[in-house]
Amino acid sequence: MNPQLAPPGAGLPFWQRIFLRYFFLPSYFRKTTWELAQAFFEKEGEKLMRMARSLKNNQINQRVLVKPMIGIEDSSRYWSVAMVMEHLIIVGTQMADGVVEMTHGRDPKKKADVAAVKPVENLPADTIIPQYQRFLTSFLQKTTKEIGDKASDKKFLHPWFGHLNARRWMAIAAIHQQIHRKQAEAVAKQLV
């Protein structure tokens, strides 16, 4: 039986949005360079890969309801590790594409829509782990080799945090990896 959760796109609780947008993120953005964001993104991705590889094949697809976590919408709390990884691939690919566009002074092609980036399938380990590994490599290559001006003033609307430039989107991509890596670990702790 699926738990009763808020619908996709309902957003974060009000207090979380306020705390993140006006207190945590301004400090995080000041300290996080492009290169630090890339290194943080890669480190979090590698941690998730190690954890996913340690699971039994059937465990990676077992959905678990985790307690509310900062940065995770209510509708996303009943996922499997594979679903977390698929979400990170969907969002991270869009973020990398958007960052490249902004550094070339162009608007990203896709609107940032929280409800549209939920996982579609619960892929098996032998599919999702290699896909996630390819995604990590692709994200880092794209945000290194295909970028234009890292200091571009071009901004794009984040649904919760307002208009952000490319460097701030890179920082968001990294912290997004960490938030969902912690979610995957919370799922894994409950697996049997």
pLDDT of residue 2: 84
Q: How far apart are CA 190 and CA 52, in angstroms?
A: 14
The length of the chain is 192
**11 and 160 Cβ atoms separated by less than 8 Å:** yes
The stretches of the chain forming alpha helices (DSSP H) are 14-19, 25-31, 34-54, 81-103, 125-145, 166-189
Is 192's pLDDT higher than 80? no
pLDDT digits (tens, 9 = 90+) for 73-93: 999 999 999 999 999 999 999
Q: Which class is domain 14-189?
A: mainly alpha
Roughly what angle, to the nearest 10 degrees, separates helices 34-54 and 125-145?
170
Give the chain's mean pLDDT. Answer: 95
Residue with tokens 């990170």: 88
